[in-house]
Structure 1
Amino acid sequence: MAFYFSNLILQTASDNRKDSIVYFEREPAILVSMSRSDLLYLKEQDFATYPAIYVLIGGNKRYVGQVAGQKIEQRLTQHFQNKANDWVESVLFFGRADGKMSKADTDYLERRLIKDFKEKSSYELTNSTKGNKSYIDKLQKAKSDQLYNIAFEILNDIANIDLFGTEKEENYTYNENHPFKLTFENKVITAKSARKLYTKFAEAIIENPGYEAIIKKMVVEGCPTYSLIFGSEIGNYNGYPNAVRLSNGICLYNNLSRKALREKINTIAQQVGVEYEILKWS
């Protein structure tokens, strides 16, 4: 089936004999999320032949790779046949919707993604090198940067996937590098992302024993969901955790778009009866 969201196409390939391969498209980029068990069905898709940048995902480990001149399903088969990669649970990859990327493009994008993982991520990156380096001219580099940025727009705004994982803890001191900020009960909370602000707000709420008692009544047994955002366990979506543990027995659902994160901040505030003000949301 296919769903259309303005200039974005989301398709899922599934039936009684398949798991799900999720395909997003926003020109000029495509992004695909799949589980390890979907490899057989990946071969049936046109985009299985495209050059791509991919991330192997499992537990706290990640591996960044690229494929050009070879089918992505062939490269993944090689990975999965290697016993050293038994930790891999799922794969995410992106490329151009027209399937046209040169080796210079994939080399550049692989290096950029490896660099971003090393600088921004809390996951264990298993790459032993920084990636290949090829000559790329200014125009080609600009097009590759555009592709990269659009792929991350899909990840963050549509797929709700936090590719780099939990951010490092930040203190409550505001500075200009923290574009998200709110205040309640004489506290000021700042963060580098909307998701982190949402999490830190919830953490600050349960520091108050009275509010914590209210939140505990909202906790459902098992994994939280979009509607019931507090649960007792952390679930996952295609290998990604979809919640964060706030305290023993309280997990907060966080697989949300930026708009939904703001709505859920309001939901939490209303449930416990606190007034708050968002000072910065950018």
Structure 2
Amino acid sequence: MSSDHLPIAITLHLSPILHLPHTQSKLDLKRADWNAYQAFPSSTSYHHDEDSSIDGINEAFTTTILAAARHSIPLVKPGNGRRGHPWWTDACLKAVQEKRRTYHRYLKEGTKDAFVSMKKANAECKRTIAGAKLDFWKKSEEDMTDLTAAWNRLKTLKMRYNPPSRNLTDPDGGILRTPEEKAEGFLRHFARTSSTRSLPENQRRDRMEKEAHTDLSTPKGKDADLTLHELRWALRATSGNKKSPGADQVTYPLLRNLPPSMQEALLALFNKCWK
């Protein structure tokens, strides 16, 4: 061999890349069988070691209630994750279908008439879509009160619309910009709304009487375990909350409809976290 290039052998140890779907199946809570959901944990074995870590207990608890949910609640078929065009009409759909039909006809026949029909359908499709966008713009002119609204409408036509961000303000009307200012603002807000002075007269009197007979220096005070009554009160307070679940896919309705045995398990988990 006359070449002075040396061959190089490279070995790559690559693990397969996991492609997660953009959308996940969701629980259809409107068709849930809550009786079967509450009976399922009783028919299965939910065991955890008291000396286990918080993560281990949480994993066992989550696995149990998700298994009960899959057993008693049907799933909703996920969509494709894309938003539809706001200006899209039935005329646009028919024009696109006709364009595709004439295109496939031209591919099949290859004649001059088929080619002319395809070009006409293509031009008609462009006119229909442009007209739909123009009509959508004219109908929305009344809603555009300033330049910002006009730009948002243009972004909507291009499917690039982002909802405007809302600024946090303090009681004096000032804008909270930095994370430190926002944290202080939330702190002042919660301190003001949860203070005794913000309560009605009868509730203020009851709280002051309760605090007077509570010894906060003992575990029976500030460090006391959470009770089952407090847990059930907190679960009832989530009624009407439609927030999306986190990574564990546990929703508030799943927690509100827990059977008594699983409520006690959840209470034990909370108390372990509290300690």
Larger radius of gyration: 2
TM-score (norm: length of structure 1): 0.19
**Larger relative contact order, structure 1 or 2 (CA cutoff 8 Å, min sep 6):** 2
TM-score (norm: length of structure 2): 0.19
